[in-house]
Chains A and B, each alone.
Chain A
Amino acid sequence: MNAIAKFLRSPIGQKWVMALTGLFLVSFLIVHLSGNILLLLPDNGRTFSAFVDWMESRWIIRILSILLFLGFAIHIVQGILLYRYNRKAKGARYAVTATDNSSWSARHMALLGIGILLFLILHLWDFFFPMKVRKTFHHHQLYDEVVQTFQNPLWVLAYVLGMIILGLHLSHGFQSAFQTLGIRHPKYTPFIVAFGKWFSILVPLLFAIIPIALYFKFS
């Protein structure tokens, strides 16, 4: 156990923490999206509500949601620590910086991360806190709340923007996680890179379509 603790404190180990929590959060996106997609069914939210009901009644989901919060917290705190470490290691900045040797999103992962965090706070404020903490509505009313929220075009815009930021973060983060874990092979890396690229486009796009569709459906 001592070896594991020592490894996780080493800078490469800290990168492993970022990669592993990052991939865990990616798996959560798939679960979240598969629930959200039900909002698009033309049944006035019947299937979606049944899904929410099912989620609310499973203890495994409760445990997973605690793990999810932990995953976010570790990814964020570790990210801040590494960012500060790296800023210090770079020291003085250049007067002229080349930008054609790497992608914009790779160079701005921390900034994109802050963007996602802001979106996350907004998102929790919209649905999680009123439903789970302040209990201003019951989870049976979640569908109506979602529809209500996305009647405001500013809210739709905020969510679409949030998904663009998420897509940019994933476009670097997905394949970067595998590189950090040392999973690289001429046979499989092209697939991982291509999969990451499509994932970072399709998943945020599907998420973003939902508020847009709800806005036009009910307005």
Chain B
Amino acid sequence: MKLTLKIWRQKNAQDKGHFETYEVDAHEDMSFLEMLDVLNERLIRQKKDPIAFDYDCREGICGACSMVINGKPHGPLPGTTTCQLHMRHFKDGDTIWVEPFRAAAFPVIKDLMVDRSAFERIMQAGGYISVNTGSAPEANSIPVPKPIADKAFDAAACIGCGACVAACPNGAAMLFVAAKISHLGLLPHGQPERYIRARKMVERMYLEGFGNCTNIGACEAECPKEISLEHIARMNRWFAKASLIETEEA
């Protein structure tokens, strides 16, 4: 299949950047990243600078791959990362626009790579359990109701890729932060710190320059792990409780 790619090229963080057009001959069984690999090999043979993009596992579980394809983080397929998006979802002759994740807190490093270390700093602010909880306990020694376990698991599916930020017209990271707050705070070992954690992570999120949620819902729609907005409501509730009622300092 013949495709026209309009790819964002930017030398470094200071460069203004521009779109460049490439014609590629892709196979429908290629993943989107493999299609870019083929293009890059051609660019290298031509002694041109290959297109920089992030990837690691290529199995849809690590959260490294990014890029916005035709206006959608991770492309048009719901619940799928870029590495798991295959070219059969495009048509012969298509023109595909490829851009980096856009948010002030995710500055472009080069081409399609953005600096997502702000997420690491949010995790460092509170995305942990302060004490060592040991190895996995006997399954029924601490009962966890099934609906709670399910909710925590849904939140834990977050791979921290940042698609929520990329999709949000406000550049908000609330779906990511809410997923972490829910995942840790709903389960017994993480519960004692849940309000303090919510406050610390939310405060860090704002320090990093992420925007404010206006409940548009694009994050939920574009999340490769289909994480629910329900977690954002919980974060709003817990952050309010942490700010207004809780007094202890962890």
Contact = CB atoms under 8 A, between A and B. Distances in A.
A16 interface: yes
Given A179-B229, A180-B236, A181-B236, A94 B71 contact: yes
A90 B243 contact: no
B102 A92 contact: yes
A90 B169 CA distance: 6
A46 interface: no
Contacts of A16: 236, 240
Interface in A121-160: none
Nearest to A85: B212
Nearest to B173: A89
Contacts of B99: 94-96
B240 A176 contact: no
Interface string A67-86: 00000000000000010011
Interface stretch (A3-11, A162-170, A197-205): A3-11
Interface in B31-87: 68, 70-72
B173 to A, nearest CB: 9
Interface residues of B, number: 47
Interface residues of A, number: 41
B236 A95 contact: no
B239 interface: yes
A180 B235 CA distance: 9
Interface stretch (A32-40, A47-55, A56-64, A98-106): A98-106
A45 interface: no
Nearest to B215: A176
Contact of B68 (A85, A94, A107, A172): A94
Contact of B244 (A7, A88, A90, A109): A7
- Name the residue in A96, A106, A183 with the highest tally of chain B Cβ atoms < 10 Å from its Cβ: A96
19 contacts: A7-B240, A10-B243, A11-B212, A12-B212, A15-B236, A85-B211, A86-B211, A86-B214, A88-B104, A90-B103, A90-B170, A91-B171, A95-B99, A96-B71, A96-B99, A98-B222, A101-B218, A176-B214, A184-B233
Interface of B: 6, 8, 19, 68, 70-72, 97, 99, 102-105, 167-172, 202-203, 206, 209-218, 221-222, 229-230, 232-240, 243-244
Interface of A: 3-4, 6-7, 10-16, 82, 85-86, 88-99, 101-103, 106-107, 109, 172, 175-176, 179-184
